Structure 1
Amino acid sequence: MRIAFYGSSLVSAYWNGAATYYRGLLRALAARGYEITFYEPDVYDRQKHRDIDVPDWCRVVVYQGTVAALKRVATEAANADVVVKASGVGFEDDLLLAEVMASAKPAALKIFWDVDAPATLAELRAAPDHPLRRTLPSLDLILTYGGGDPVVESYRAIGARECVPIYNAVDPETHHPVAADRRFAADLAFLGNRLPDREERMEAFFLQPARQLWQQRFVLGGAGWHDKSLPANVAYVGHVPTADHNAFNVTPNAVLNISRASMAENGFSPATRVFEAAGAGACLITDAWEGIELFLTPGEEVLVARDGQDVIELMANLTQASAKEIGERALRRVLGEHTYAHRAAEVDRLFRSRARQVEAAE
C-alpha cells in the first residue's frame, strides 16, 4: 500500500517532538512493505536544523509555507491508498486537512493522526464549529499518539467512526545504550522544549529539586530555555539533536520525564522521552500519570514522582548501582513489548482490516 503522510517534519526534530514517533513508526511500516511519502512544510526553521538525512525508506517532500504550495502537495493524496493528516503540522492545519481529504480517492483510507489528543480534544470542546469536528464523520480512522479509553470515548462522542491509540515506542536502531559523554554528566537531567503547559511543571519537578539539592549537578536540554532564570547548579545545553539523545540519557545518574499538563491530566500518554530513555538503558524518573504501569513497572523499571519533593526523595535514595539495574530492566521491557515493530504490526492489521471493509462495500 502507498501512504501519503502529511505531518510536521520527518527530517527535523527542532521544535518538533513528534519526529521520533514519526520516524520509528513509519520506518517499521516501510519494513512491512508500505511505500511512504512524507509531506512537511518549511516552517519554524526546521529545515535549517535537520538532524537526519532523507531516509532510504521514505520519500520526503518539503513544501514552502504558502497556501499555493500546500494546495499543490495536497493533490498528491490522490495517488495514495492510505491518506494521513497529522495534528500540529504547523501551517494552515485546517486548510491542509480539507484539501488533503478532498483530493483522496474514494477507496483510500482517510485518517487523522493526533499526536496531542488531550490538547486537540480540549480545543474541539471549546469550538463546536471547529473544522476538524465537522470532518470527523467522513474519516475512516482517528489514530492517536496515546490517551487510552478517555481519548477514545471523547473522540467517539463527537463523531469519530473509530479511534485507536497507537502509543509511542522505541526504535532500537536509533535509541540504544552508548558510552557516556561528559557534556551531559549530572545527577539528574531533563530534556524538553519550553512550552506553556510544561513550564510550570518543569519548575516544580526539576528546578525546585535543583535549588534544594544545590550540591548536585543538573543538566537541562531543549529549545527555548535560554532566557530562563536557572540555579547555578543547572547547566543548560540548548537543543539536543537526535544523534546525542542516547548519550544525554545514559550519562546522568537519572533522567526526568515531565509530561505536558494536558497529557498528565488525561493519563495513558507516555511521551517519546519515556521510550527513548528506556531504550538507552537509562534510569528514568517520570511525573505521575494514570496508566504508566501499562508500559513500565513503577519501582522496578521506572521511578514515579508525584511532585518535586518526591523527586528529591527518589534522588536521595538512588545509587549508581540501583539506577543501573532500573535502566537495564526498563530496556528489557521495551525491547520485549514496546518497539515500533510492535506498533507497526498493530497499524498494519488496522489498515488491512479497513481496506477489506472498503472493498466489501464497493
Structure 2
Amino acid sequence: MSYDIVILGLSLSSSWGNGHATTWRSLLKGVAAHGKRVLFLERDVPWYADHRDLPEPDFCDLEFYQDLDELDGRWGETIANAPAVIVGSYVPEGVEALDLVLARAHGPVLFYDIDTPVTLATLSRGEEAYIHPRQIPNLSAYLSFSGGPALERLTEKYGARCAVAFHCCADESHYRPVDAERRWDLGYLGTYSPDRQPTLDRLLLEPARRLPHRRFVVAGPQYPADIDWPANVDRIEHLPPSEHPAFYAAQRYTLNVTRADMIAAGWSPSVRLFEAGACGTPVISDDWPGLTELLPDGDAILVAHSAEDVVNALEVPDDVQRDRLAQEARRRILENHTGHARAGQLLDLLADLARSVPRDAVAGAEPARAN
C-alpha cells in the first residue's frame, strides 16, 4: 500500500503520561481531511500497550514494531518509497531510527520536535537521547515545537537547513465547548514533572489553601505520594482524552503550567493551552516569552506571577470578563492552532520541499552511524 507520509512517533495509540499522542492525533486528522494517506509507526512498549485509548484510529494506518530490525525488515521499503517521512522526538532508540530513515528514504525527511527546549538543553550537555547533532544538517526540515530564538539556534549552531516553528495544535472536532456541571473554580491537567511542581504549588495549591471555600482539581499520573494536597483539591489519576472537554467545561478557569526548559526557550505553547482554549475555558497561565504574542494578557488569557494573582482572579465574580477571555482565546486558536490549520502548514511545506533539490543531492551520502 502506498502512503503520502510515513511517520515514526513516540505514540499515537496511548495518551498515558505524554502529550505527544493528542498532538499527533489532531495533526493527522487534519492531514486526512486534506485527503492524504498516512502510516504511523509506533514502537510497541508495555507502558503504552497497557494504556491504549486509540488502538485503531480511523484517520490513518497505525502499525507497531518491536525493534529496529523489524522496523527495517517490514517497513524499510515503505519508508524508501514514501513521498515524505517524519520522525518525532522521544522515539525509542531515536538516533538509530533516524539514521535508518535517512539511509532508506528517497523523499524529504523531516524531524518533528515536540520537545525542542528539552532537545536543545540535552544537546548543549553533549547528550543525544533521540537525535544527534550530525543528523540535523541532513534533514529536509526541522519542525520545531518552539518558535523565536530556538529557530536561530537550530540553524546557526546545529546547521538546520529549514527550521520552522510548528507548534502543537488542538483537534477542533473534539476540543470544543460542551455542557457540564461547574464543579471546580480552578483545575490543572498534566503529568507530574518535578520542574513544574513548584509552579503548581504556587498557582494552585497555595490559592487552594487560602480559599477553602473554593474547589480545585489536579488530573494526571505519576504524582508522588508525599504531596500534601489541600482538602479542597480533588485528584484524578488519569483522564483519557475522551473526557478532556467535559473536564475543562467543569472549571471556571483552568491553569497552564510550563516546564522550565520551555520557559527558558520561550515561544513554546503547550498543547493543553490550545486544547483548553478551544473548549472555551478561560486560562490562567504562568509567564514566559512569546505567550502574550499568541494570547494577549487580559484579552485572551490571564497571566499569573503569584498566588495572589490567582486568588484575585477567582474572587472577582466577573462572568463578563471570564466569558470575554474564553471567546477571544477560542477565536484565535480556531483560526491558527487547530489540527486542520497545522496540517495545511505541513502540506504547504512538503509541496515546497518536493519542488526543491532532492534531499540526498544536498545532504550527500548515507549518514555516518554512531559508534
TM-score relative to the length of structure 2 = 0.89
Aligned to 2:193: 195
Aligned to 1:180: 180
**1:84 is paired with a residue of what secondary structure?**
strand
Q: CA 1:129 to 1:4, structure 2 compared with 1: closer, same or farther past 3 Å? A: closer
What amino acid sits opposite 2:147 in the alignment?
A: G
Length, aligned pairs only: 355
Q: Contact (CA 8 Å) 1:74, 1:100: kept in 2 or not?
A: no
TM alignment of 1:1-362, pairs within 5 A: 2-64=4-66, 66-72=67-73, 75=76, 76-89=78-91, 91-105=92-106, 108-127=107-126, 132-145=132-145, 147-156=146-155, 157-181=157-181, 185-225=183-223, 227=225, 228-358=227-357
**2:196 is paired with a residue of what secondary structure?**
helix
Find the aligned partners of 1:193 and 1:85 in 2 and give their Cα distance: 24
| Farther off after superposition, 68-77 or 237-246 | 68-77
**1:171 is paired with a residue of what secondary structure?**
coil
Structure 1 position 229, deviation (Å): 2.6
Structure 1 position 18, deviation (Å): 1.4
**1:358 is paired with a residue of what secondary structure?**
coil
Structure 1 position 84, deviation (Å): 1.0
Structure 1 position 149, deviation (Å): 2.2
Find the aligned partners of 1:195 and 1:78 in 2 and give their Cα distance: 38
What amino acid sits opposite 2:233 in the alignment?
A: V
Q: CA 1:251 to 1:128, structure 2 compared with 1: closer, same or farther past 3 Å? A: closer
Structure 1 gaps of 5+ residues are none
Q: CA 1:311 to 1:34, structure 2 compared with 1: closer, same or farther past 3 Å? A: same
Q: After TM superposition, what 4+ stretches of structure 1 lie above 6 angstroms from structure 2?
A: none
Q: Which has the higher contact order (CA 8 A, sep 6+)?
A: 2
Q: CA 1:153 to 1:188, structure 2 compared with 1: closer, same or farther past 3 Å? A: same
Structure 1 position 70, deviation (Å): 4.2
Q: Contact (CA 8 Å) 1:74, 1:99: kept in 2 or not?
A: no
Q: Contact (CA 8 Å) 2:211, 2:311: kept in 1 or not?
A: yes
**2:332 is paired with a residue of what secondary structure?**
helix
Q: Contact (CA 8 Å) 2:148, 2:266: kept in 1 or not?
A: no
Find the aligned partners of 1:161 and 1:171 in 2 and give their Cα distance: 29
Q: Contact (CA 8 Å) 2:279, 2:330: kept in 1 or not?
A: yes
**1:143 is paired with a residue of what secondary structure?**
strand
Q: Contact (CA 8 Å) 2:7, 2:41: kept in 1 or not?
A: yes
Q: CA 1:114 to 1:129, structure 2 compared with 1: closer, same or farther past 3 Å? A: closer
Q: CA 1:67 to 1:332, structure 2 compared with 1: closer, same or farther past 3 Å? A: closer
Q: CA 1:87 to 1:278, structure 2 compared with 1: closer, same or farther past 3 Å? A: same
Structure 1 position 11, deviation (Å): 2.0
Q: Contact (CA 8 Å) 1:256, 1:285: kept in 2 or not?
A: yes
Find the aligned partners of 1:128 and 1:53 in 2 and give their Cα distance: 33
Aligned to 2:367: none
Q: CA 1:121 to 1:357, structure 2 compared with 1: closer, same or farther past 3 Å? A: same
**1:268 is paired with a residue of what secondary structure?**
coil
| Farther off after superposition, 69-78 or 329-338 | 69-78
**2:356 is paired with a residue of what secondary structure?**
helix
Q: CA 1:267 to 1:44, structure 2 compared with 1: closer, same or farther past 3 Å? A: farther
Structure 1 position 312, deviation (Å): 2.1
Q: CA 1:6 to 1:129, structure 2 compared with 1: closer, same or farther past 3 Å? A: closer
Q: Contact (CA 8 Å) 2:185, 2:216: kept in 1 or not?
A: yes
**1:148 is paired with a residue of what secondary structure?**
coil
Structure 1 position 39, deviation (Å): 0.7
TM-score relative to the length of structure 1 = 0.91
C-alpha RMSD over aligned residues:
2.1
Structure 1 position 74, deviation (Å): 5.5
What amino acid sits opposite 1:45 in the alignment?
A: W
Find the aligned partners of 1:8 and 1:318 in 2 and give their Cα distance: 42
| Farther off after superposition, 93-102 or 328-337 | 328-337
**1:253 is paired with a residue of what secondary structure?**
strand
Find the aligned partners of 1:97 and 1:133 in 2 and give their Cα distance: 12
Find the aligned partners of 1:111 and 1:253 in 2 and give their Cα distance: 40
Find the aligned partners of 1:37 and 1:269 in 2 and give their Cα distance: 27
Q: Give identity over the alignment, percent.
A: 35
Q: CA 1:140 to 1:190, structure 2 compared with 1: closer, same or farther past 3 Å? A: same
